[in-house]
Structure 1
Amino acid sequence: MYSQTERVYEYERRNNQTMNITSEGSLFNQTREMQPTHGNSQKTKLAMMQHMTKFNARFFSPPTECNGGQYGRDDTNRERQSLPTILEVSNERTEDWVAVVERMIYRYEITQFQKKKTTTRKQQDISNMSYKLYYWPGLPGRGEFVRLPFIFAGKPFEEDLDPKNMMSILQGPPQRGFLPLAPPFLRLPDGQLISQTPNIVAYLGSIFGLAGSNTVESLQINAVVLTALDFNNEIHNTHHPIAVGKTYEEQKTEALTYTKDFKSSRIPKFLGYFEKVDHVHVLTAQHGQIIAGNETSSGYLIGSSVSTADLTLFHIIEGTSLESKTQLRRPTGLLFAFPKTMKKERESKCYDRVFDLHENMRRHERIAAYLESGKRAPFKDGIFRYYQELDEA
């Protein structure tokens, strides 16, 4: 039967490893400082026990047949080989225990160093990868809600607009345990896929600093984003009110009925809500308590800086500035789908903050450069469609 010290030496001999980690402040140096000057000190053993609990004493397991006689951990005797059991042996000299601890510390620090190198290598690999957005070609669509956080934050991303590549993912086996139902979906730098527009927007907001300054603001921003995307869905229903698989012409009568109600009740309801949100910002105090009626003049929907809520609403309202005569541009968004209706709403002066927010976002340096570059796909047969009979219904 090997003694405790002999097992460690034998383990090192078999693995043929040389240990020379003696950095200042390491566990090795701390242990050497505890060597007693006289005989076998119980106090020293106690101090050593405190240091040894910082790592797993797995080198004391006896050889087993299942591991070919190599010294390693025997899971069947895990409890018996626990650290307190080892230290209860009292017939070993203190000097032997110091040698044991030194060997164990060598192994521990080597392991930690190797783990650190592996982690650093993985981080470097991830940093060299990019986000990739999968969406339909030629349409802003819901993919634009995902693009805007990247554009505003100045973060790089790739786009794969090849329907074949997208369908191979949608119809193929789950990737890393996940299968998206429909675009847009985003591949993260580590290879993981995430889908659902509000889910992706919330994720990007959190990593790009577009999700508020605290938990409550983050939740409020997410609520506004979800409300704006509900509005977006109702806009889509104006031309496809009963079946997405049918053409507009096949449901034109129903579309006229739906749109008439949408213009008279739903547009004022949603714009009125966003106007109120922009007017009164509820801020949080300590312990998450809400201070109501605390008005600010930040000009943003929630908080004191741009968030994904502002970017999402911007894309929905996006269109021709009726006040700017120096900038000619093609109407988009609601102003593309319902130019006469939106002109009337703007002239009513009931939603000035909403339209001002849209103009302020459009003037932002990165947003303006993006729009002027022509990289944004034109609005045509996507969510926002212009039919004269619907605008005049």
Structure 2
Amino acid sequence: MLAQEIIRLKRESHTLTRDHIEEFVRGLVDNSWSDAQVGSMAMAMFIRGLREEETTFLTLAMKDSGSALDWSGVGLAGPILDKHSSGGVGDKVSLPLAAIVSACGGYVPMISGRGLGHTGGTLDKLEAIPGYRTTVSADEIRKVMHEAGCAIVGQTAQLVPADRRLYAIRDLTGTVDSLPLITASILSKKLSAGLQGLVMDVKVGNGAFSTKLEDATELAESLVSIAGKAGLPTRAWISDMGQVLGSTCGNALEVREAISLLRNERSEPRLLELVRGLAAEMLLLGNLAPSIPDALRRVDDVIADGAALEKFARMVAALGGPEDFTDNPGAYMPEAPFIVDVVADSDGWLAEVMTRDIGLFVVELGGGRKNADDKIDQRVGLSQVASIGCQLSRGDLIARAHCATVEQAERAQRDLGRLFVLSQTAIDPRPVMIQRFES
């Protein structure tokens, strides 16, 4: 079957068969399709779109392009569950969530990624912990799952190799923002992890890749539908990314905030609500609770009694981090040398946050990558970030900037306040969990 003929069919809006799509995926893996042909196919898919059955075929073919995680013989006594986020500023939900679900009897093999653009990456956050290894073999993932019940790591070389090549070429050819290709990319990796249930957190707002509710809705519906057709029970929530999630953004700062939540210390309400809500959905999917209220009670119990914190500690130690990390995380993660307060220049209610610009500001501080091989400064970022709806007086703290240089600190005090817009009338807080979908 000629590559150019399959490309022509999609270019002319024909529906591709399973055989066509499996041939394309084989070409991705064995390099019988050139980069030019893959780029042409991606562009044809981007412009002409894919029907649901085509997206399902692509998802399954990419899942089968490498080896899957095999849990037989590991001795896991509960369901294998996971959660995936479409990405946001300050989104550290995965860190406490995996430990909470594990403490409730689930097993969470979370294959995570790095920061993309203005959004932070879960792997980058965890690498703020000295010694923590995000690149491990499938056998090591199985071992950590048995020991700790959760493992937040990167994709192994054997998992979904077709997606790695296709994504790299999509990134170079301007075809990343294709709903079917996004759906297939996410779900092929999740299916290869041998899951029995998946919860999707689809972000919407000025700090998300989907800035409009209709786009986020379309993505959530696509993910739930295709996952169901592929045999993976899935729930999805659209959640707000019109402001920083939690009170921090920046890798080490976000790890500390996640640990504070697990230690049952004071947590930013929106972050806690989203963590509890997504964890409850995972427990329902895994038949670990009969209802949402029961699931929420279980979540609260494992936070209150320290069981979730213990699971996180075991995972960190099993993956090379300090055994006593959760006892005193600040001892292992140095602070930025210059910490300055950014304050309100007038009275009012916080009405709008330029969330994407805040994410880019953290990247400029060194907390993200401008180029793929950039080294991240784990210390920098923002803490004590104000939430929409809070009332402020002139001189009140809006955020605290953690900077590597005097110049960065001066810029933060000069420019950062402009990213927080005040209103002279009261503003209601925004709901963090907006809409639910299920297959």
| TM-score normalised by length of structure 1 | 0.24
* Greater fraction strand: 2
* Greater fraction helix: 1
Higher Rg: 1
| TM-score normalised by length of structure 2 | 0.22
